[in-house]
């Protein structure tokens, strides 16, 4: 396949003119016109997983401990202690002097650590903890262009710190409903499956625009959003996704122009809730002084059924967040650029919750030769040919939103229970970008996937010890 990179500003799909029952695209931001170009490079591996016989979920090597005896303890004394405890020395470090002790099969690692730690001749007794290489996917364009997934450094590289997070969770077992223009998820009629969604897991969805069971994308926006959440990853092809082992439910509520009705959005929310999704992701919205009762009822139903709802704040450069994001049951997402600052288009205000990379195509702070957009696999959004796939840079709060949806999937897979726990983990561990704690320009700050997962693991340990 010829990897074609294309650059386009994709605005948040804005609900407006509710009296007319229509949803219209944002028109206040112009498209960034940039000539398409090709990158013809042979794919290459940037990471190889180290072979090991140890299960990936094991924290230390079973059946052995590391013991270091105090200076002056003779080998004869060591032999007597090991024999008394039924252990056997299998290795002695020529550098640090510690010994690997094989323990009796009738004893646990914890029990033998305690026994040896109490011995006055022992300096320390610890488990032989397993270290893992940080997961860096072999998708060839990940390392080159997906700055948004890397670790955040103040003023440089405003990513969400995914690589350590992938050692903890990849979103397995979680279902994310993408309410959008559809997804290029199947080969059906005139539609083709996006090449870099080949290994992505899909569950049945629905098309509320055409009223059928084939929510295919005829715009390109929904496929790009889905890629950020769950692009096929570590497949030596294209780019990566945040929670690549989660399942995607495509729910088409917007047409080929990015428009849809309030009724379609509400029904999409009900459908996803009834089909027991864990997360609803909405890169869409409308400006209004308050939420209407139809949408409020749908969102309340989803929230009350344990669904985490993530929505975009809007691209209007306004000090008010768009609905549905502004509703208290939703996590409202604003957009940052490479240096971690809020993008010029991102809405802000008292209902803003969190920030994630949305991109700024006007600048190349990453130094990769292209405007700092969010790169994913979708089809040509100019011709809207659903078979003409490439890799496109988009920008907008639409692009920021799926970062949070993906992180939410990582958290739920690791044990976060319900929308309140997901929100707490994301908000309490965010990188503060504005004034201390929450502020109206950055919410709680930039999401940190690894820190949020550590927060969930800590909460789980606390609950276990208290039970």
Catalytic residue ranges: 180, 221, 398
To the nearest 10°, report the CA torsion of 412, 52, 231, 345: 70
Burial of 253 (0-12, 13-18, 19+ CB in 10 A): buried
* Ramachandran area for residue 248 (φ above 0: left; ψ -120 to 50: alpha; else beta): beta
Which three-class secondary structure state does DSSP give residue 381?
A: coil
What is the residue whose two structure tokens read 């016109």?
33
Query: On the CB side of 313, how many CA atoms lie within 13 Å of its CA?
Result: 35
The DSSP bridge pattern shows strands 247-252 and 175-180 to be parallel
Contact indicator for 182, 207 with CB cutoff of 8 Å = yes
Count the Cβ atoms, other than its own, within 10 Å of residue 97. Answer: 11
Rounded Cα distance, 357 and 341, in Å: 10
* Percent helix / strand / coil, the chain, rounded to 5: 25, 25, 50
Rounded Cα distance, 9 and 393, in Å: 8
Contact indicator for 327, 417 with CB cutoff of 8 Å = no
């Amino acid at each position: 396949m010829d990897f074609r990179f294309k650059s386009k500003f994709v605005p948040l799909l804005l609900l407006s003119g509710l009296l007319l029952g229509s949803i219209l695209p944002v028109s206040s931001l112009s498209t960034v016109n940039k000539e398409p170009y090709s990158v013809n490079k042979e794919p290459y591996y940037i990471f190889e997983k180290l072979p090991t016989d140890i299960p990936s979920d094991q924290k230390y090597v079973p059946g052995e401990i590391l013991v270091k005896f105090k200076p002056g303890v003779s080998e004869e004394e060591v032999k007597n202690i090991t024999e008394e405890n039924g252990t056997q020395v299998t290795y002695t470090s020529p550098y640090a002097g510690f010994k690997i002790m094989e323990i009796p099969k009738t004893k646990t690692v914890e029990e033998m650590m305690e026994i040896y730690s109490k011995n006055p001749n022992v300096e320390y007794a610890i488990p032989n903890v397993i270290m893992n290489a940080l997961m860096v996917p072999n998708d060839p364009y990940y390392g080159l262009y997906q700055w948004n997934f890397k670790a955040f450094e103040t003023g440089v590289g405003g990513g969400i710190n995914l690589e350590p997070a992938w050692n903890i969770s990849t979103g397995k077992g979680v279902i994310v409903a993408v309410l959008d223009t559809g997804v290029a998820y199947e080969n059906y009629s005139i539609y083709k499956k996006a090449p870099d969604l080949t290994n992505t897991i899909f569950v049945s969805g629905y098309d509320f625009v055409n009223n059928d069971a084939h929510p295919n994308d005829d715009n390109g926006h929904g496929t790009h959003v889905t890629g950020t959440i769950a692009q096929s990853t570590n497949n030596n092809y294209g780019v990566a996704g945040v929670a690549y082992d989660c399942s995607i439910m495509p729910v088409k509520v917007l047409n080929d122009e990015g428009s849809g009705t309030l009724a379609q959005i509400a029904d999409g929310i009900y459908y996803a809730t009834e089909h027991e999704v864990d997360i609803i992701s909405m890169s869409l919205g409308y400006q209004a002084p308050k939420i209407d009762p139809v949408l409020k009822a749908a969102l309340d139903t989803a929230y009350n059924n344990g669904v985490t709802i993530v929505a975009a704040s809007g691209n209007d450069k306004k000090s008010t967040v768009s609905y549905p994001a502004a509703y208290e049951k939703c996590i409202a997402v604003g957009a940052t650029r490479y240096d971690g600052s809020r993008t010029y288009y991102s809405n802000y205000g008292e209902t803003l919750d969190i920030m994630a990379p949305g991109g700024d195509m006007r600048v190349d702070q990453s130094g990769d030769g292209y405007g700092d957009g969010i790169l994913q696999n979708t089809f040509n959004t100019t011709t809207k040919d659903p078979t003409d796939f490439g890799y496109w840079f988009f920008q907008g709060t639409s692009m920021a939103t799926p970062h949070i949806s993906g992180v939410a999937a990582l958290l739920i897979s690791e044990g976060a229970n319900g929308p309140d726990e997901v929100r707490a983990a994301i908000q309490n561990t965010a990188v503060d970008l504005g004034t201390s704690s929450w502020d109206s320009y950055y919410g709680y700050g930039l999401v940190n996937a690894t820190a949020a997962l550590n927060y969930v693991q800590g909460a789980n340990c606390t609950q276990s010890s208290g039970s």
